[in-house]
Structure 1
Amino acid sequence: MTSPSCPTATRLYEKGTVIARDFDYDEVPGLLEQHPGAVLWLDLFAPGPGDLQAVAEQFTLHPLAVEDAMTDHERPKLDRYPHHVFLNVYAVDIATEDSETRFGKTEISAFVTPRALITVRKSPSDTSKFVDRWDATGDLGGTDGVGFLLYGLLDVVVDGQYAATQRLDAAMDQVEDPLLEEGGAPRAIRMKGIHQRKLLAALRRAVAPMPELVSQAMRTDLDLVDATLKPYYRDVEDHAQHTLDEVEHLRDRIDQLLQADTAEQGNVLNDTTRKLAAWAAIVAVPTALTGYFGQNVPYPGYEKWWGFLVSSALIVAVSVALYAFLKRRGWL
């Protein structure tokens, strides 16, 4: 039997208890044969086509599912094949560093066979969260080990998505007040709000399919979830739906904040335009009257060489002062 050359992690569970861990892939057939009631967790990190092909032959994985596991950026989904179930999910994380909000996600593909949960990760991530969850809920593995492993995987993914949503909500608080300030927010704040809206769109793509995905996993014809596990799957489904509702709420919130800022900028522009129009009308009256009557009276320096210098200096000084004033007000 050909062994995968990519980094792997292995664990063997029997009735929710770990009976073997960190063993070579070559030992898998023998361990499964020695422990008929045990189930396997096999994790493959960045496998190549040959690595997955070796596993596919051992566990009768469908070629289309193997192709999906090798393809980046597959949508979250759950597909049923003759000998296994294939699902694709995203573990997400949002962190704030130096007042900048960053979004990260890890695509996780999983094959659920009668005796194994095989996960495929295309980028680095912390699998200890899955292991800790399985260890903490080992009493659920007494009847259906594979369903118990899948529950732990989905629960950790959904909890991570909800935590990311909460962190994004907290980051949004930092831009809410500046966006609602009188006169409109500075451009840096507006760009931060637009960036957060982009993060929400990326987060929603990972979160939106999860309630339906968990619901499909509970289908009776899949034989993945028994009566003991069903309440726990329903709890995961409820958390997934709650996370989606939070994302939708945040999307509406940031859209309304950006619209309010745009409206405030429009109000300021209208007020400025009205003032400029009023001053233009005031200046236009004397200009029109003096132009109509052709008034051209002597002034200090009239027909003198230094009069030209004084008028030129006044023009330059007034223009520079007006430019500095408008620049300070942010109009230029």
Structure 2
Amino acid sequence: MSKLRFRSLSGRGKAAEISLDEAAAKLVKGGWLDIKNPSNAEKDFLLACGFHELAVEDCFTEPITRFYVYDDHKFVVLLARDKDRGDLDTEYLNVFVRDNHIVTVRHSAMPAIDEFERRLRTDRSQNRSALGAEYLLYELLDEVADDWYNVLEKFNERLETIEDNVLDPHTRYPDLLERMHEIKQDLREIHKSSQPLNRIITRMMRRDSDFVPEELKVFYQDLADQAKGIDERVNNLSTGTSSVRDTYISQSSLVFAESNQRLTEVISTITLIGAIILPLTLITSVFGMNLGAFGAGGGVYDLKHVLAVMAGFTVIAGIWFRKKGWL
């Protein structure tokens, strides 16, 4: 169901819901009209307002991120975060810019729109309302960029938690590698979603675009720097995740190597014990048989003689193992 809200450039009240019949008269006075989930009635309204039919058509199809300067208005399409579908899902935000008002057309709830509505009630926006619709667009784009910064801050906290877990020598945490791969994948999605914002603002700042008025270039330059900062932060977080992952893999390899070393020492010890015990078992087996061979059972060899032979063999084997470096 369609929902229209309007916020004038003066006053501190929230954007109020209005009917389609009221919208045209209010736009003339200046302000912000927000159209959510537009229908054919809203489409006819936009055409009646004189907005270009191709721009209006983009509001009801799957457009591409771009901006265009028409004779008496401007049109911008960008990606903004979808409030209802998680931190990474985005939806197209269509913005018409003309004289003293802007019209936003969207098909979902967006955090940036909510913050933009709040920002319009601040003293700063009230004092700068005379700068025109392009300044309102700047405030909106700035909120879209700030929204991505908020998302990246959450990823920074997640990465710091994982780094602490990796460096914790006392506790083993499950699925650390999977969590790091998940962050890398999410950062790639953020890069794909936020990169168009950077491209659009950069193109707006070009002299031949005729989009940004001279008195607002300082604001849009700040916005361009902020958009570039999003890309840099995404790259920094991605690099940090790779570094933590390499540290985790190195620690895992070191633990595995130490475990193998201990296992090798145990096996070597058991092998040496077996090498000594096996001949002793042979000796006891031969002299323990009920046969007369070697004088066994005839009193020629007593127990002390057999034990002496076994002890002597053990000493000789130990000396030989030590010379070989096995002990």
Same fold (TM over 0.5): yes
- Aligned match for 1:134, one of 120, 142, 167: 120
User: Where do residues 1-332 of structure 1 align in structure 2 (5 Å cutoff)?
Assistant: 6-13=2-9, 22-32=17-27, 35=28, 38-48=29-39, 50-51=40-41, 53-58=43-48, 59-63=50-54, 66-67=57-58, 70-71=61-62, 77-80=65-68, 82=70, 84-91=74-81, 103-115=87-99, 116-126=101-111, 127-136=113-122, 137-143=125-131, 145-182=132-169, 185-285=172-272, 287=274, 295=282
Q: CA 1:21/1:223 → structure 2, altered by over 3 Å: closer, same or farther? A: farther
Offset of residue 121 of structure 1: 2.8
Offset of residue 187 of structure 1: 1.9
> Separation in 1 of the partners of 2:245 and 2:20?
53
Q: CA 1:65/1:284 → structure 2, altered by over 3 Å: closer, same or farther? A: farther
> Separation in 1 of the partners of 2:235 and 2:95?
30
The secondary structure found in structure 1 opposite 2:212 is coil
Offset of residue 170 of structure 1: 2.5
Give unpaired runs (5+ residues) of structure 2: 286-327
> Which residue identity does 2:24 align to in structure 1?
P
Q: CA 1:243/1:296 → structure 2, altered by over 3 Å: closer, same or farther? A: farther
**For residues 274-327 of structure 1, what are the alpha-carbon distances to aligned partners after superposition, in whole Å with 9 as ceiling and x for unaligned?**
2223332333355467779994966xxxxxxxxxxxxxxxxxxxxxxxxxxxxx
> Separation in 1 of the partners of 2:41 and 2:251?
58
The secondary structure found in structure 1 opposite 2:215 is coil
State whether residues 140 and 229 of structure 1, in contact with CA within 8 Å, keep that contact through their aligned partners in structure 2: no
The secondary structure found in structure 2 opposite 1:186 is coil
Q: CA 1:252/1:155 → structure 2, altered by over 3 Å: closer, same or farther? A: same
1 or 2 for the larger relative contact order (CA 8 Å, sep ≥6)?
1
> Separation in 2 of the partners of 1:81 and 1:52?
22
> Which residue identity does 1:103 align to in structure 2?
D
Give unpaired runs (5+ residues) of structure 1: 94-101, 299-332
Q: CA 1:92/1:185 → structure 2, altered by over 3 Å: closer, same or farther? A: farther
The secondary structure found in structure 2 opposite 1:89 is strand
Q: CA 1:80/1:285 → structure 2, altered by over 3 Å: closer, same or farther? A: same
Higher strand share: 1
Offset of residue 87 of structure 1: 1.5
State whether residues 11 and 40 of structure 1, in contact with CA within 8 Å, keep that contact through their aligned partners in structure 2: yes
Q: Which residue of 1 aligns with 2:315?
A: none
Offset of residue 124 of structure 1: 2.2
TM-score (norm 2): 0.69
> Separation in 1 of the partners of 2:227 and 2:82?
13
The secondary structure found in structure 1 opposite 2:257 is helix
State whether residues 97 and 137 of structure 2, in contact with CA within 8 Å, keep that contact through their aligned partners in structure 1: no
Offset of residue 222 of structure 1: 4.4
Bigger Rg over Cα: 2
> Separation in 1 of the partners of 2:170 and 2:259?
11
State whether residues 204 and 244 of structure 1, in contact with CA within 8 Å, keep that contact through their aligned partners in structure 2: yes
TM-score (norm 1): 0.68
**For residues 97-155 of structure 1, what are the alpha-carbon distances to aligned partners after superposition, in whole Å with 9 as ceiling and x for unaligned?**
xxxxx735552412324345232333223534212323331333324x22022111011
State the number of aligned residues: 275
> Separation in 1 of the partners of 2:60 and 2:166?
43
> Separation in 1 of the partners of 2:128 and 2:226?
19
Q: CA 1:105/1:206 → structure 2, altered by over 3 Å: closer, same or farther? A: same
Offset of residue 256 of structure 1: 0.7
**For residues 28-47 of structure 1, what are the alpha-carbon distances to aligned partners after superposition, in whole Å with 9 as ceiling and x for unaligned?**
33445xx4xx4452222233
> Which residue identity does 1:262 align to in structure 2?
I
> Separation in 1 of the partners of 2:171 and 2:238?
20
> Which residue identity does 1:121 align to in structure 2?
R
> Separation in 2 of the partners of 1:183 and 1:131?
49
**For residues 62-94 of structure 1, what are the alpha-carbon distances to aligned partners after superposition, in whole Å with 9 as ceiling and x for unaligned?**
4476346543xx77x32326464232122378x
